[in-house]
Chains A and B, each alone.
Chain A
């Protein structure tokens, strides 16, 4: 883990985070740094507080103790976000998409644009929403549909289109590939990767999907025992010899994901020969 500090390269800075619900302690003394431009995967067993960590970082959950800074500004309990300056620099994809159910997909995408840039003209607004919709892989006829008319995967894509509406620097994804078919999940991974490359995005990615971890994550943070027990590349993590991490990456599913990756790389090598 890099040294704590306010330097420009740390986008998310968490120190000594403590969260509890009643008797149940979810986080204690949790530290995490996310560097600019990386895709960080957050993994952990069910109930280890991955989503709670994300909610703490984006200011939806007020922690019992600890400091949370995004772009060098505190976000604890909503923090200084009245200025909106942080909020227009990040996008969040919630687990179920969290689309506004009374608005169409196109209107959902336009909400952040209208909120932060009320002077944008209608035509440009429509065009932006249109290309975002296509970019996230939705069919063009999805624009006027309401969330209730969409499948789970389409809701996720529409949620991503809304999260990307402002071309944010920081993207939070909560289990983006859960519930998607393998083809859709792979396309989602590719989309995330290419957005990160072209826009210089920093991505905070909660996932259970080992294929996603292998395919696109620069580093992986492992949540267990109420804190981040390790951060690093998958190889570094495996080298740590922690039983849970071992089980996670070397279990049958972990091995299958490596095999998939190997096949993909072999194919690439074959193609470039």
Chain B
């Protein structure tokens, strides 16, 4: 199998003949397809008796050429004939690409699709909130249905294993706030207000908010991926058939875990943030820890703690529900697990921040500013 595919043209009174030689296989084709396409003039017969080997791609090219010229094909052995007939049978119009759509039409279509999807997602999320509430009601009426072990297991995954990373993050954020505050407030000779800044902002806002973002990234995403994968492997269908409600068995433990763990984690995060700020105040402003703690107690009103603790469970519920909801939406292929997981995190963080803005307005209007 060495000869490159080639052909010679012979003029004959009974009709022109094209004689092929060499190996008519993909690896040996070279520029044969282009030369054949460029070939002009009538051909009555295609003679393949001189070829060494033919594969389906060679057969396809011969078949296409002969069909175009109306030529007959000669000189094939039985196997070759069989091959050619198979290729001929396969010659049917096949759609190769999705239908082409104009760019303006496409952009408008995409905007429309995105709008519809966004609206559907919001409605779906609301419906999911309803379904979760119903499941919660069921479990309260029949406490035996409550999955205690599953819930405690989620406590561990959502809460305990997150302590390290959330602590580290909060400590560093405390340091950054104290350092930036000290530098800026120095211009007014009000470095001592750094303590107010750190104490109030961590307890009121950043502790819970940063924890929510971390939990969304850690747990919200894993909820979506776990449930999405279970959906793909038909595990959830199997549950339904057996009579186990996925809302009670999968969603409720996760939502309850997030709702319970978020205030604890948020408060913990705020405390560690205050510690980080304290270290920085000590190092930068020479405020000893005792004084720092005393000042914190004086300047941070207790309502700041309540603000953080009230927001946290709401954020937890949003994160868990966005994760579980997106997981439940997975259908079809594994790629969806990825896109749904991303959607769960983005949605959770977005909703958390929107709600945080509402909370800020609300609390200041009730006089907890």
Which residues on A are within 8 Å of B, measured CB to CB?
88, 101-102, 104, 106, 113, 117, 120-121, 124, 126-135, 140-141, 143-144, 147-148, 164, 166-167, 194, 197-200
- Interface residue SS majority, chain A: helix
27 contacts across the A-B interface (CB closer than 8 A): A102-B335, A106-B94, A106-B96, A117-B26, A121-B33, A124-B33, A127-B64, A128-B57, A129-B96, A131-B60, A131-B87, A131-B91, A132-B90, A134-B89, A135-B56, A140-B92, A141-B95, A143-B96, A144-B95, A164-B56, A166-B26, A167-B55, A167-B56, A194-B86, A198-B86, A199-B55, A199-B56
In the bound assembly, the distance between CA atoms of A126 and B97 in angstroms comes to 10
In the bound assembly, the distance between CA atoms of A147 and B333 in angstroms comes to 8
Residue of A nearest to B63 (CB): A131
Residue of B nearest to A198 (CB): B83
Q: Are B92 and A148 interface neighbours, CB within 8 A?
A: no
| Closest-CB distance, B163 to chain A (whole angstroms) | 32
Q: Are A197 and B34 interface neighbours, CB within 8 A?
A: no
Q: Are B25 and A167 interface neighbours, CB within 8 A?
A: yes
Asked, given contacts A121-B33, A127-B60, A198-B82, whether A167 binds B94 with beta carbons under 8 Å apart, the answer is no
Which residues on B are within 8 Å of A, measured CB to CB?
25-27, 33-34, 55-57, 60-61, 64, 79, 82-83, 86-87, 89-99, 332-336
| Closest-CB distance, A207 to chain B (whole angstroms) | 23
In the bound assembly, the distance between CA atoms of A104 and B97 in angstroms comes to 8
Q: Are B95 and A140 interface neighbours, CB within 8 A?
A: yes
Interface Cβ pair total, 8 Å cutoff: 85
Residue of A nearest to B85 (CB): A198
In the bound assembly, the distance between CA atoms of A183 and B33 in angstroms comes to 37
Q: Are B333 and A101 interface neighbours, CB within 8 A?
A: yes
Residue in A102, A144, A198 whose beta carbon sits within 8 Å of that of B96 in the complex: A144
| Closest-CB distance, B118 to chain A (whole angstroms) | 22
Chain B residues lying within 8 Å of A140, measured Cβ to Cβ, are 92-95
Q: Are A148 and B97 interface neighbours, CB within 8 A?
A: no
Q: Are B95 and A131 interface neighbours, CB within 8 A?
A: no
In the bound assembly, the distance between CA atoms of A207 and B96 in angstroms comes to 32
Q: Are B335 and A101 interface neighbours, CB within 8 A?
A: yes
Residue in A102, A113, A134 whose beta carbon sits within 8 Å of that of B94 in the complex: A134
Q: Are A131 and B96 interface neighbours, CB within 8 A?
A: no
In the bound assembly, the distance between CA atoms of A218 and B360 in angstroms comes to 77
Most buried by B among A102, A135, A141, A147: A135
| Closest-CB distance, B337 to chain A (whole angstroms) | 11
| Closest-CB distance, B335 to chain A (whole angstroms) | 5
Residue in B33, B82, B94 whose beta carbon sits within 8 Å of that of A130 in the complex: B94
| Closest-CB distance, B23 to chain A (whole angstroms) | 12
In the bound assembly, the distance between CA atoms of A197 and B334 in angstroms comes to 37
In the bound assembly, the distance between CA atoms of A130 and B249 in angstroms comes to 48
| Closest-CB distance, A71 to chain B (whole angstroms) | 13
| Closest-CB distance, A139 to chain B (whole angstroms) | 9
Chain B residues lying within 8 Å of A101, measured Cβ to Cβ, are 333-335
Asked, given contacts A104-B97, A143-B96, A197-B82, whether A148 binds B335 with beta carbons under 8 Å apart, the answer is yes
Asked, given contacts A140-B95, A197-B82, whether A134 binds B56 with beta carbons under 8 Å apart, the answer is no
Chain A residues lying within 8 Å of B333, measured Cβ to Cβ, are 101, 147-148
Asked, given contacts A128-B57, A134-B94, A144-B95, whether A198 binds B335 with beta carbons under 8 Å apart, the answer is no
In the bound assembly, the distance between CA atoms of A77 and B233 in angstroms comes to 31
| Closest-CB distance, A192 to chain B (whole angstroms) | 13
Chain A residues lying within 8 Å of B99, measured Cβ to Cβ, are 144
Residue of A nearest to B64 (CB): A127
| Closest-CB distance, A242 to chain B (whole angstroms) | 36
Chain A residues lying within 8 Å of B98, measured Cβ to Cβ, are 104, 144
In the bound assembly, the distance between CA atoms of A122 and B237 in angstroms comes to 44
Q: Are A106 and B97 interface neighbours, CB within 8 A?
A: yes
Chain B residues lying within 8 Å of A144, measured Cβ to Cβ, are 95-99
Chain A residues lying within 8 Å of B336, measured Cβ to Cβ, are 148
In the bound assembly, the distance between CA atoms of A117 and B26 in angstroms comes to 9
Chain B residues lying within 8 Å of A133, measured Cβ to Cβ, are 94
Residue in B57, B82, B92 whose beta carbon sits within 8 Å of that of A134 in the complex: B92
Residue in A113, A143, A166, A194 whose beta carbon sits within 8 Å of that of B82 in the complex: A194
User: Given known contacts A88-B27, A129-B96, what 15 new A-B pairs fall within 8 Å (CB)?
Assistant: A104-B97, A127-B60, A131-B60, A131-B87, A131-B90, A131-B94, A134-B92, A135-B86, A135-B90, A140-B93, A140-B95, A166-B26, A167-B26, A167-B56, A198-B83
Chain B residues lying within 8 Å of A164, measured Cβ to Cβ, are 56
| Closest-CB distance, A174 to chain B (whole angstroms) | 18
